Every structure is written in structure tokens, then in C-alpha cells.
Structure 1
Amino acid sequence: MEKYKILFLHAGAELYGADKILLEIVDNIDRKTFEPIVILPEDGPLVSKMREAGVEVSVLPYPILRRKFFNIRGIGNYIFSYIRFSRRLKKIVNKENIRLVHVNTTAVLEGVWLKLFTKAKIVWHVHEIIMKPKFIYKMICFLIQHFSDQTVAVSDATKQRLIDSGIVDQAKVITIHNGISRDYSQSAPDYVRKLLNIPSDAIVIGMIGRVNAWKGQSDFIDAVCPILQRNQNVHVLLVGSAYVGEEEYEKRLVNKVASLATRERIHLCPFTEKIADYYAALNIFVLPSIQPDPFPTVVLEAMSNSLPVVAYNHGGASEMILDNETGYLCPPLDVTKLTQKLDLLVGNTSLRLKMGQKANIRQEKFFSLSQFVERITQVYVDLIS
């Protein structure tokens, strides 16, 4: 039987949310039917993970739409690089007889060129809710509408943001919620606690995610400070790093923590591939993204680890968490409400366990890897056949 070659393009090579989702797709689609070919713009841990999975992967430094290009010189550099590397991608698509291109983020615009100059079908997988700049939001929506054969949104909130532009037709976009494997719940709880000198009986409140302008690390610190002051047995754990060139966000976070009287019980850790060990050390998970987070993979990972999750009530988190059942949804930017909900969980062990168990069941039932891969596969089949 003929194998269908699918080219996957992505915006990086790390192991955060969208990176992991791409890895789950290429590692789990039917290799008897599909032959995945991955081209990434840089080297990194995702490259080695792809190779471990037996996937053909190479590095080609095509440009990614980042804020650094939002100036006159940057625009010129981007256009020059875009044309140069898009031509190379076109040659690969034609030479390899690639039938379908899966563009895994709106920051990768090379799919537009491939739609124009090859016969490949284009799947645009949208992991972002673009709020501003408005011009970029409108431009991305225009490109999605006119240069994709099928757009996949990771959440209903992400889909609605595209439709609200007045540019993207509702029929153009389908929602497929991400799913994850259960590998994130297999680690021993004591490893990280011993590493960081956290007592085994301490209550650990954690947040895992990219350190940037909108993930909400500052709100997280503000919310846990009163709890740390009242409870000597509570520790806080933050895991994550900034993009290269955005280290200023990390510096601000370090300085903020250093100014606090409770700093000895706040543990800042850089991004790690062994993230399962850190989930195992937690009792409560928090994600206070100050902008709508499309469909945060870390929430699914926390749920699979039987952790209650407290988050702001917008974006994909609203579709993942059942308020008062698997955790709490708080009004966006309401730090006081975050503190109140965390207080409830810190003070009630049985409530934490009950919510965590329900979160685990919900993740497996509605956000499993098998359901996710099955639905993505159907998109491929519908376009190729």
C-alpha cells in the first residue's frame, strides 16, 4: 500500500506545549499509512526526541514570525530569509512528492508559499490566541482563510478568536482538543523534594510554563505570598525558562522573589526535559495566564498527575477544568480570588485528593492521546483521499 508523506513544520525545537503535541502526532500516527518528515528551524531537545521515535527530522533555519522582526530592518530581513528558505522547502516538497504539509503554529508562514507553489494540501494547526498587535491578528486570519485547506484549532476559544476576526469562515476551522500520553504520571514524588530540600510532608504549590510576558508568573507569586506567610509548611515551585532574547522576564521574576521574606520556600527551576519528576513533587497546580491561553498542555499534564488545577477562567483552561469539581476557575487577573481558592486546597487534604482524582479521570476520558491522534488522522485522510 502506498505511504503518504506528510511534512511537518514547527516554530522551534524545545519541549513545551506545542512541541510536545507535535511529537505526540508524529510518534503515534499510523506509520503503515503515513510517512512523517519533520523540518525544524533550529536544533534542540525536540530533534533528539523525534529521532528516538524513528522519525526523519532535519534542521533548516527558516524564519519564524517573532516580535524581533516588527521593525523596518526586521521586516526586510524576514522577507529575504522567508523567500530563500521557502524556495528550499518547495524543492523538498516536490522532490519527495509530499502530499500534505502540517504547519504546527501561526508563527510559521512558510505554508503560504507551499500552498501557492506546490500541489500539497495545507493543514494549519493553530495553538495561539492572538490578541495584539491587531494588524498581525488580522493578517494571520487572512492567511489562514486563503492559504490553508483545513485549519485545526486546539480549543473552542481559539476557534472563536479566528471567527471573530470577520475574516475566517466558521466552516474553515474545526476544534480538536489536544491529548497526551500518561507518561507524565510515572515518577517518584521524593526525587525533586530531596533535590530542593523540600520536606516530604510539605504542601507544594506549583506552576510550570514558559517565562514570558503573559503566562502569569508574577500573578502566581502575588497569589501565593499570603499563603506562604500564614503556612510554614507550604513551598512554591516554578519551572520554566524564557525564549532566547527574552531573558529579561526571568530576571524580573528572580528579583521579585529575592525581595520577599518567604523567598527560601520559593524554588525557581529552569526548563527541564524530566518534567514528570516535578509534577510528582506537587500537591496543587496553578496556571494564571494573564491572556487567554489557547489550550495549555501543562494543565493536561497536571490533571494526569491527579492534581487539582487553579486557573483564570479564560482561553482553553475553561474547557479543561470543571469549576468546583477538578479545580477552580477564577475571574481573570483576580489575584485575591486565586489566593482564596488556593487557601481552600491548602487547608483541606481530602478536597485536594478528591479534585485531583476527578481531574485524572476527566483527562483520560476527554483528552486522551488516542482520541486526539484519531481525529488528526481523519483530517489527513479527508484531505489526501
Structure 2
Amino acid sequence: MVRLRAQRRHVRERRRRVRRPDHLPEEEAEAVSTLHPTVEKAQALIELDRYDQALALLAGRLAEDPGDLRAWVKIGYCHLGQERPKDATAAADEALRLAPEDYGALRLRAQAMVRDNGWLKVQPVLRELIRVAPHDSFAHAMLADAVWREALVRYGQESGARHLTAEAIDRVTREAADLAMEALRLGPEDIYAHEIAHRIASTAGNGTVSDMLDEAILRIDPHHAEALARQTRKAARAPGVGATEAAELYADALAAEPNSADMRDQLDHATYRLLRGTRWLALLCVGLAGAMVDLFPAADRPAPELPIPVGQRLWFLFIMGVIWAFGAWRRYSRLRAGVQLNVRSLVRRGRWARIVLAQAAWAMACALLIAEIPWTDRAVPQLLFWAGLVPTAATIWFDKKKSR
């Protein structure tokens, strides 16, 4: 119960700090006006996502006073919370009829249009919102978002190109970038402003600015899923980072943001890369077994006599044990608990993960049969050698893309 309450407080804190057009933001400008007690109760219910109860209260309030501007705005946010943008637009229109320059009503109208796929039509409302509240960072950030989207659509329609050329990047994103920079100046702690600036910088291919914005986002909100995913992915894909380190990076990111589907997918990919390594160990054992028996003797050197002595076969068992102890078990035992759990989970969930382990087991079985049976002829061991080597090596080549 204590943990659940802490999670709810964390969610409410993030809602207060992360202001985006698809969330229900605080309406700071509305604080200057006195809310009716019924509207205050409805606002408390909205913060708890109890929209039906809030709507019932607000409907009763409007029956008493149809001109309660704040009640209309709250009704609009209830409809947004219930994914009914058209009803939210109607509520915003009623509020704007009462007060055409009201900040809360204009903001609700813009958000309702965006929820109704109206990014290409929302600019006039946002410019009016900026005129009413010129120092509001959220309005500037949302306008930057709308200008950026419309500029990309217009460029694609006019040029027929699917990708921006280097010459067109500055021209297409200039106004949106200026608006985003203004939003950052007005709201240096506004997550949404940072997100839009990052999106524009990424479009322009400016990796340095994108990284700086990600770091700023994570400073404000250490649990920001998208920034955390981008930074973790960059670190995991850096040169010299192996599968083990990559898996642990993704596991750390998931510990900070457990609901990130992208990080779960990336952790599965890194875990799959770890499992792929078992096939290389098995192939190494197949090769050593073939070398011990000398399956393909050359004409200029004598081949060892068959059967191979028992001592040599036992020595080969020891060598294979060392290979697996240091190449697999020691590596697995040093993984963090979260990565170990994901290894077992992926084996249960993933068909290719089970195929990888089955192929490693098959190759090891062939290696053991080659090395431990006292063969008197090389024909059967040669067949086992190719049976253990070819299918496994061919599949390694086939699923190479899965390890990326």
C-alpha cells in the first residue's frame, strides 16, 4: 500500500513537471480567478482521473450558472481525459464565447484540436494564445511543434521528397527552431520545450545539440522514458561496448523506467547477442574435436592412429569444460540479477533464443561423439563434424541481423 501511494505521488509529480499537448497540464493562469467550490472539487477529481464524477459535478454547476467560464474549461479537460476531443472542442468554444481571450479556454481549444489530428490547423489558435500570454513557454513550444510539423508536410508535398536535403533543413526548420529556443528561454525547466527542441535538432542532424537536450531533460526528469532510451541506446551502441555491457545498460534503464517498451526490446536484443555466443563456443569445441582426431589428414604428415587413447579423450573433456566455464558460466554468473532473469525469460519467450541453445547443444553433442567414442575409422566422425558445423554456421550467418 505504501509503495502504491508512492507511485501515485510520483505520477502526480511527473504530471506537474511534464507539460505536453497530449496531457492535462496545470492551468497556471486560472489560479488568479476564484473557483467555485464545486469546480474546485471537480478539479480534484480530474487530478485523480475520475472524469465521470467530475463531469457530474460540473454539469450541476452549469445548471446553476451557465456562464461559469472555469466550469466549461474543466469540462473540456474531462473530455480530453476520456479521449473525446470533439466534445472538448465544443466545451472550449462555449468558454471562448464567454471570454474570447481567456488563456485557459484558448489552451484547451489548441489541445482539443491536436487530439483531433488538427496539427496543421492549430497555428491560429496558438498564435492567439501567445498574444494573450506572451511569456508562456508551453504556448511557444506547442507552436514550434505545429510549425515544424506543417513545414515538413509542406516540404514533402511541394518537393515530393521523403527526406530533407542538407540545403532544405535550415530553411524548413528555421522558424520552428527559433520558437523552440524562445520556449526554452521562457521555460528552462519545461520538459515539453526541451522535447520539441530535441526533435527539431534531430531533424537537422545536429547530434551535439540533441545530446545536450537529452541531458537537460534527464536532469529535470530522470525517469523520462524517451530521453533515457536514446541515451542508453547511444551508450550501448558505442564502439567497443559488448553484449554484456549493453545488456546491463539496458537493465539499468529499465530499473529507472520499468514501463519502457523500447528498453525491454533493446534488452532482449542484447540478451540474444549473449546467447549467440554459446554457438561460437560449441563450434570451437567441434573444431578442437576434429583437430584431435585429425579428421582431414594431409598427405605430407602422418595421421594419428585410431582409436584415440583414453587419456587424450579425457583431456579433451577437460578442455571443453574450461571453455564453457570461462566462456559461458563465468560470464553468466557475473551478470546482474536483472539480466540473468531476462536470459531465462527470453529463452521461454523467444523461438530464436531456443533455437540458438538447441544448435549449441547439437554442436556440442557432435563434438563429444567425435572425441569420446573410440573410432577406428574417420568416415563417421567426418560426417558428425560437418553435421555439427554446417547447420550452426549457416544459421549464424542467417540471423546476423538479429544481433544488431
With normalisation by structure 2, the TM-score equals 0.28
**TM-score of the aligned structures, taking structure 1 as reference length:** 0.29
Q: Which of 1 and 2 has higher RCO (CA within 8 Å, sep 6+)?
A: 1
Larger radius of gyration: 2
Q: Which has the higher helix share?
A: 2
Structure richer in strand, relative to its length: 1
